[in-house]
Amino acid sequence: MANYAHPEVLVSTDWVVQHLADPKVKLVEVDVDTKSYDEGHVPNAIAWAWNTQLSDQLRRDILSKEQLEALMSSSGISRDSTVVIYGDNNNWFSAWAMWQLKIYGHADVRLMDGGRKKWLAEGRELSTEVPHPARTQYQAEHPDLSLRSFLQDVQAAYKSRAAAMVDVRSPAEFSGEILAPPGLPETCQRGGHIPGARSIPWAKAVNEDGTFKSYDELQTLYSGEGVDGSRPVISYCRIGERSSHTWFVLKYLLGFDKVTNYDGSWTEWGNLVGAPIEKGAAAAAKG
Amino acid sequence: MRAEEYSERTVDVNGWQCRLTSYKLGDVYHCQADNVSPGARLARATGATKEEAERQALERATELLSRTRRHSD
Please report, for chain B, the start and end positions of each structural domain, with discontinuous segments joined by +.
4-65
Share of chain A above pLDDT 90, in %: 93
Q: Which pLDDT band, with edges at 50, 70 and 90, does A285 fall under?
A: low
**Buried b or exposed e, range A109-122, using 16+ CB within 10 angstroms:** bbbbbbbbbbbbbe
Mean predicted lDDT score pLDDT of chain A: 95
Dump the DSSP string for A243-262.
HHHHHHIIIIIS--SSEEE-
Pairing relation of β-strands B28-34 and B41-47?
A: antiparallel
Dump the DSSP string for A135-171.
P----PPPP-GGGB--HHHHHHHHHH--SEEEE-S-H
Tens digit of pLDDT for each residue in A50-93?
989 999 999 999 999 999 999 999 999 999 999 999 999 889 99
pLDDT higher than 60, residue A212: yes
Amino acid B17: pLDDT: 96
pTM: 0.95
Amino acid A2: pLDDT: 64
Residue contact A173–B38, C-beta within 8 A: yes
Tens digit of pLDDT for each residue in A130-169?
999 999 999 999 999 999 999 999 999 999 999 999 999 9
Alpha helix ranges (H) inside chain A: 13-18, 36-39, 50-53, 65-74, 92-103, 115-121, 151-160, 171-175, 215-223, 242-248, 265-269
Give percent helix, percent strand, percent coil of chain A, each to the nearest 5.
35, 15, 50
* Catalytically annotated residue among A237, A239, A249, A254: A237
> Which residues on chain B are in Cβ contact (under 8 Å) with A125?
1-2
Residue contact A121–B32, C-beta within 8 A: no
Tens digit of pLDDT for each residue in A19-49?
999 999 999 999 888 789 999 999 999 999 9
Amino acid B73: pLDDT: 56
Selected residue of A50, A170, A204, A239 to mutate for chain B interface (largest B Cβ count, 10 A): A170
Q: Which CATH number fits domain A7-143: 3.40.50.720, 3.40.250.10, 3.40.470.10, 3.30.2350.10?
A: 3.40.250.10
Phi, psi dihedrals of residue B15, rounded to the nearest 5°: 90, -5
CB-neighbour burial class of residue B13 (10 A; exposed 0-12, middle 13-18, buried 19+) = buried
Residue of A279, A271, A270 whose CA lies nearest to A177: A279
CATH 3.40.250.10 segments of chain A: 7-143, 146-269
Q: Give the Cα separation of A178 and B38 in Å (integer).
A: 12
pLDDT higher than 70, residue A286: no
Question: Is A237 part of the annotated catalytic residue set?
Answer: yes
CATH 1.10.645.10 fits A146-269, yes or no: no
Q: CB atoms < 10 A from the CB of B35, how many?
A: 23
Q: Give the Cα separation of A96 and A126 in Å (integer).
A: 24
Pairing relation of β-strands A46-49 and A25-31?
A: parallel
Chain B stretch 13-72, residues whose beta carbon is closer than 8 A to a beta carbon of chain A: 16, 21, 23, 25, 30, 32, 34-35, 37-42, 44, 61, 64-65, 67-72
